């Protein structure tokens, strides 16, 4: 038996043999395959016919003497059967981990398809085969729809987009290839090679037609015409052939199939470039061949691929050949984004998956971008030792990337029915406010402000909660982080470690992996929740720059970059002395710069004062622990018929035809102040004893309701409502300048 491999050393593909000991002879280097001992010195099996000699003697010459055990085999083909080692030639040999890969090919393209070997390395062309008929049918589809495919642009770019809506509706193509969609899902690599080869042939024919029109054009001393080069490989980029799936649906049966996922780019690695294929030409017969290149050692052919040629050297490397390919590779990490996914940022990490980008897809995304990646699902080993060899991790080899920033979310019929039930409530806004952090009693105004920020507007709405410790600020932020459609959560309780995750950073062994911080992840209409923002003192400058200019700058040696970032910030802060001191100004209670405080549109001070609500708070906590109040789904008693809603904006922002603002202000004198009117929103949203049977909305349904409202609803204020808001702002600004109480400056940046 072979000695066990040394600990800490990766197992080699070859095994070192023993010179002495029992058993048959083994070469110095060998490896096992199917129970046979394979020498690692090429096809050097001696000729048994030449060993016996022409005279029939059994004497074996010393030069051709067969070693002991050479012809022995452990299989049942017979004792002394000849051993075939032809697969050890460079064109057939492959390491055990990639035995299906072809190591060398002969460029023997058929006359009909000049780029056959670029797409099919093993298959031989047969004119009457199903593959040939499918290629011709796809060619006809491309030629029938020239408005969808720009052949000159495809030649220059080397790829083309292939939407499913166009090719799947072709009736003539369905007659020849009825299972195109199914084959693309189950066998994506072979199907994409078929589609790409058809486009390659159409582009070549298009270039030949364009060349025939300019036959008389030759190079002159005044004008140089470059020679026509052979077309390189063209890649197909399919879109919308498979629905977007979640990472939880990955099973073993989905490996090597087409898979699509939507998420946010959280990290981007450095692109790497290496030579994957090298083309050679035989100097004797002019036969072109290509060999796969791996690592730093570049193998060269040792014999010609043509059987009639006996050349063993003199092979010329072809750098301009389309079979000489320099491959670009990049690894990015995608964080899953879905409406049905509820993230618990405090206890668990979001689901992530590695994406491998090749060729034109390299450097096609940026950190913080929301994309839909379609690719082939693969598995990679996590360790090289035998003990951990069974542990594998799923990753995706991307074939297309689609920007999902402006893509509309699709809702099922069940989701639409639940959204209609919520909207039919008499006071839906109160129901939504009470469903946010129900374990926190009271503070309805702070919850309403966070809810309105989640609904969004024309510009980001920033909210700051300041108050005594233990009052429930962190619980409100965690509830908002669960129901926000897109964003990130940063907790300042971890100090400098959390501050590093706020802006764009670099990680990895060589600091060449760009990490998208929380602000970049929440960019594009998302929200960033910051718990204990006063403890992120080292990154308050980055937060201030993002909230003021909507940009994040990064400085590198000789490089200065700017990334756009427009998130809405919902933050909370604790007093410096542990308890909020009402005798001090707001800036004296918290560790926040005045410039940063000025960027928050809504600031709420939550105090823990003894009041009559303490008895209600005790009953509320007891009801939560006994199970009297649960986050049950909307009961079936809610009818789909719309009802009259008296929520927050019903009376204040209706038009004159609905009896809204005009009817309200008719009852008041013109000299009366708007601030003196009854707008006590806190009492309207308060949970009353008669609301004990109020069915709270689950977080996943609130998330879908907010997403539907952001996508479908675009409210606009009429002239009367805008004039009312303007009058309220002027009175509020006048009272802040004339009052001696603790009040902050009021500006027009949020208007």
Helix 699-712 to helix 473-483 angle, to the nearest 10 degrees?
A: 60
The distance in angstroms from the start CA to the end CA of the chain is 81
Give the pLDDT score at 477: 93
Strands 602-606 and 463-467: parallel
**H or E element that contains 173:** helix 171-176
413-613 has the same fold as 261-381+391-403: no
Low-confidence residues of the chain: pLDDT under 50: 1, 8-22, 42-78, 86-100, 214-216, 385-388, 628-678, 740-742, 747-751
pLDDT in tens, 245-294: 998 888 888 999 999 999 999 999 999 999 999 999 999 999 999 999 88
Spatial distance between the Cα atoms of 165 and 241, rounded to a whole number of angstroms: 9
- Answer yes or no: CATH 3.40.640.10 is held by domain 261-381+391-403: no
Give the pLDDT score at 615: 57
Per DSSP, the three-state class of 715 is coil
Write the burial class of residue 12 (CB in 10 Å: 0-12 exposed, 13-18 middle, 19+ buried).
Answer: exposed
Give the pLDDT score at 57: 38
Spatial distance between the Cα atoms of 81 and 70, rounded to a whole number of angstroms: 10
Assess contact for 345 and 528: CB atoms under 8 A. no
- Answer yes or no: CATH 3.10.129.10 is held by domain 413-613: no
Per DSSP, the three-state class of 595 is helix
Q: Domain-by-domain residue ranges, the chain?
A: 261-381+391-403, 413-613
Give the pLDDT score at 725: 85
Place of tokens 């190079």: 219
Q: At 603, give phi and psi (nearest 5°).
A: -125, 125
Give the pLDDT score at 392: 81
Radius of gyration of the chain measured on its C-alpha atoms: 36
Write the burial class of residue 378 (CB in 10 Å: 0-12 exposed, 13-18 middle, 19+ buried).
Answer: middle
Q: What is the DSSP string of 84-97?
A: --GGGSTTT---GG
């Amino acid at each position: 038996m072979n000695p066990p491999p040394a600990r800490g050393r990766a197992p080699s593909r070859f095994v070192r043999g023993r010179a002495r000991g029992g058993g048959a002879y083994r070469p110095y280097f060998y490896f096992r395959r199917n129970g046979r001992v394979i020498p690692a010195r090429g096809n050097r099996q001696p000729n048994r016919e030449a060993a016996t000699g022409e005279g029939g003697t059994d004497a074996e010459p010393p030069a051709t003497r067969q070693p002991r055990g050479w012809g022995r085999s452990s299989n049942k083909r017979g004792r002394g059967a000849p051993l075939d080692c032809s697969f050890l030639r460079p064109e057939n040999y492959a390491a055990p981990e990639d035995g299906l890969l072809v190591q060398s090919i002969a460029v023997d393209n058929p006359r009909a398809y000049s780029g056959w070997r670029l797409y099919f390395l093993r298959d031989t062309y047969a004119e009457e085969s199903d593959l040939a008929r499918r290629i011709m049918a796809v060619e006809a589809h491309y030629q029938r729809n020239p408005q969808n495919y720009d052949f000159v642009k495809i030649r220059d770019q080397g790829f083309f987009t292939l939407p499913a809506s166009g090719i799947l509706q072709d009736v003539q193509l369905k007659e020849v290839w009825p299972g195109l969609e199914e084959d693309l899902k189950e066998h994506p690599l072979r199907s994409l090679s078929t589609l790409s080869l058809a486009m390659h042939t159409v582009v070549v024919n298009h270039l030949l037609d364009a060349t025939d029109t300019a036959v008389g054009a030759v190079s002159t001393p005044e004008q140089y015409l470059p020679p026509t080069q052979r077309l390189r490989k063209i890649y197909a980029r399919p879109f919308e052939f498979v629905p977007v799936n979640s990472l939880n649906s990955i099973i073993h049966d989905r490996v090597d199939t087409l898979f699509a996922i939507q998420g946010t780019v959280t990290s981007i690695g450095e692109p790497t470039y290496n030579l994957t294929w090298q083309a050679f030409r035989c100097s004797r017969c002019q036969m072109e061949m290509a060999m796969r290149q791996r690592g730093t050692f570049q193998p060269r052919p040792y014999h010609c691929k043509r059987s009639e040629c006996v050349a063993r050297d003199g092979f010329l490397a072809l750098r301009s050949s389309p079979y000489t390919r320099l491959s670009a590779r990049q690894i990015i990490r995608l964080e899953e984004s879905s409406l049905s996914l509820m993230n618990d940022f405090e206890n668990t990490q979001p689901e992530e998956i590695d994406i491998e980008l090749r060729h034109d897809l390299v450097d096609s995304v940026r950190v913080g971008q929301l994309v839909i990646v379609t690719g082939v699902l693969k598995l990679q080993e996590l360790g090289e030792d035998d003990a951990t060899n069974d542990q594998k991790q799923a990753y995706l080899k991307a074939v297309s990337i689609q920007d999902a920033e402006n893509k509309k979310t699709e809702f099922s019929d069940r989701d639409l029915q639940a959204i209609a039930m919520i909207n039919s409530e008499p006071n839906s806004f109160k129901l939504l406010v009470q469903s946010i952090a129900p374990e926190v009693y009271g503070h309805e105004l702070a919850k309403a402000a966070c809810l309105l920020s989640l609904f969004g507007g024309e510009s980001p709405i920033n909210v700051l909660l300041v108050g005594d410790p233990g009052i429930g600020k962190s619980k409100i932020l965690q509830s908002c982080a669960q129901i926000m459609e897109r964003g990130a959560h940063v907790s300042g309780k971890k100090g400098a470690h959390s501050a590093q995750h706020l802006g764009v950073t670099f990680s990895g062994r060589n600091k060449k992996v760009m990490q998208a911080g929380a602000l970049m992840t929440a960019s594009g209409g998302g929200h960033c929740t910051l718990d204990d923002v006063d403890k992120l003192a080292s990154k308050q400058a980055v937060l201030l720059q993002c909230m003021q200019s909507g940009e994040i700058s990064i400085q590198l040696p000789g490089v200065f970059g700017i990334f756009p970032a427009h998130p809405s910030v919902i933050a909370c802060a604790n007093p410096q002395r542990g308890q909020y001191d009402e005798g001090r100004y707001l800036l004296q209670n918290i560790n926040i710069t005045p410039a940063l405080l000025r960027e928050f549109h809504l600031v709420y001070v939550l105090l823990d004062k003894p009041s009559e609500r303490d008895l209600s708070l005790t009953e509320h906590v007891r009801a939560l622990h006994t199970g009297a109040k649960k986050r049950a789904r909307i009961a079936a008693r809610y009818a789909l018929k719309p009802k009259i809603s008296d929520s927050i904006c019903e009376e204040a922002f209706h038009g004159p035809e609905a009896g809204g603002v005009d009817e309200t202000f008719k009852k008041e004198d013109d000299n009366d102040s708007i601030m003196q009117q009854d707008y006590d929103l806190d009492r309207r949203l308060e949970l009353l004893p008669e609301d004990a049977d109020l069915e709270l909305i689950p977080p996943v349904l609130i998330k879908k309701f907010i997403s539907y409202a952001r996508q479908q609803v675009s409210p606009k204020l009429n002239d009367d409502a805008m004039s009312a808001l303007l009058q309220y702002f002027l009175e509020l600004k006048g009272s802040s300048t004339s009052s001696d109480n603790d009040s902050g400056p009021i500006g027009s940046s949020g208007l």
